[in-house]
Amino acid sequence: MTVDLGPWLGDVPDAAAAAIGGARNALIATHENPDADTLGAALGVAAIVERHGGRATLLSTDPVPALYDFLPGMDRFVHDPDETAAYDLLVVCDCGSLDRLGDVRQRHSALFERLPRVLVDHHASNTDGGARDWVDPDAAATCEMVVLLAARLGVPLDADGGAMAAALMAGIVMDTSTFAHPNATPRTLAASAALVAAGAPLSEISRRLYRSKPDAQLRLFGRVLDRLEVTKDGRVIHSSLSDADLAATGTLSSHSEGLIDLLAQSETAEVAILFKEAGPATTRISVRTKPGGVDATVLTGAFGGGGHARAAGASVDASLPEARTRVLAEADRLAAAVSRPPADPRPAADSAPTSDPRSSAA
């Protein structure tokens, strides 16, 4: 079975497609603290470059989390580029700003400045785009964009024995929470259907990313959820994760993946925030908001961050207690401005019993 992606291939800019398709030795970079979308997109771009006769080096300033070890190709990522290599293109995947490349950008600043660049990203807050760059806030994931890029350049999605399809599917699953978030569009579903048709094991990827966790990670979740708090009006729910939590549970920072989405399940809160200790004077915040309410990029933008309207993040130059005070004050202000109609107290029509209770045994 094949899925027709033709209606969306015009969404791929000519300049980005030409640059990536014509690269002979591409350096493909992910953002710091890499997740499935940046890693999958980078692997997809690498497959495209290689199918067009080029070479690809995959770069991640931070180690790839063990969560993604089940996906082929994750062992290809290196922490630093080869300064002697004749790279002719830098492709940056899923970076809301170039600062998110992490320390590798400073370590190799001359190389990063010299190379022509293509940015492939879906963050609405991204303002770093150039002439060849492709920033599409309507995409649910950068991997969705790479699916279209591959189709535009004639690269089969089952390339590398299905490894490409699996990597791209993982990014879409992660950034849509298996299609539960409102960012999934008909184009997202068409791209995903094409990946499944190419052999991507959707069910297994979803299980691995969302329904399978080491016991130590569950203990970490328990500690963080046990200290959750809500503001006095219930509009902001938050919790924090410290280095002491990681030490006590024998976990890594990457094991916090998914915690913010649990906090965001609050029925009443407009804003969910996870504060993560990232150093003596640095705190990372992850933010989720409800549709029709606070724009998460407005909250995180006040602290130099960005992302999407419903999911965003930032690094705050402050200790965890200080960051919590500053961020919660702004979150409270934004949440207080949200006005929603009162809930209908009457039971919904579809909540009626499906069988006659009088037929039950006494």
Q: Is 30 exposed, middle or buried (0-12, 13-18, 19+ CB in 10 A)?
A: buried
Q: Which of 167, 188, 210 is the last residue of a domain?
A: 210
77 lies in the same domain as 20: yes
Ordered alpha helix ranges (H), the chain = 14-21, 36-51, 103-107, 109-114, 142-152, 163-176, 186-197, 202-210, 215-226, 243-249, 259-263, 296-301, 320-336
Domain with 281 in it: 215-336
290 and 144 in a single domain? The answer is no
219: tokens are 């203990």
Beta bridge partners of 10: none
Residue 194 and residue 248 in one domain = no
- Domain count within the chain: 2
pTM for the whole structure? 0.85
Nearest to 93 by CA among 166, 12, 32, 31: 31
Residue 97: predicted pLDDT: 85
Per-residue pLDDT of the chain (362 residues; tens, 9 = 90+): 789 999 999 999 999 999 999 999 999 999 999 999 999 999 999 999 999 999 999 999 999 999 999 999 999 999 999 999 999 999 999 998 888 899 999 999 999 999 999 999 999 888 777 889 999 999 999 999 999 999 999 999 998 889 999 999 999 999 999 998 889 999 999 999 999 999 999 999 999 999 999 999 999 999 999 999 999 899 999 999 999 999 999 999 889 988 999 999 999 999 999 999 998 999 999 999 999 999 999 999 999 998 889 999 999 999 999 999 999 999 999 999 999 887 655 554 443 333 333 333 33
Q: Are residues 139 and 10 in the same domain?
A: yes
94/196 same-domain check: yes
| Domain identity same for 206 and 249 | no
Task: Tell me what pLDDT residue 346 has.
Answer: 56
Domain boundary among 171, 186, 210: 210
* CATH at 301: 3.10.310.30
Domain-embedded: residue 233:
yes
Task: Specify the pLDDT at position 357.
Answer: 31
**In-domain check, residue 341:** no
Whether 9 and 148 have beta carbons less than 8 Å apart is answered as: yes
Same domain, 20 and 159: yes
201 and 286 assigned to the same domain: no
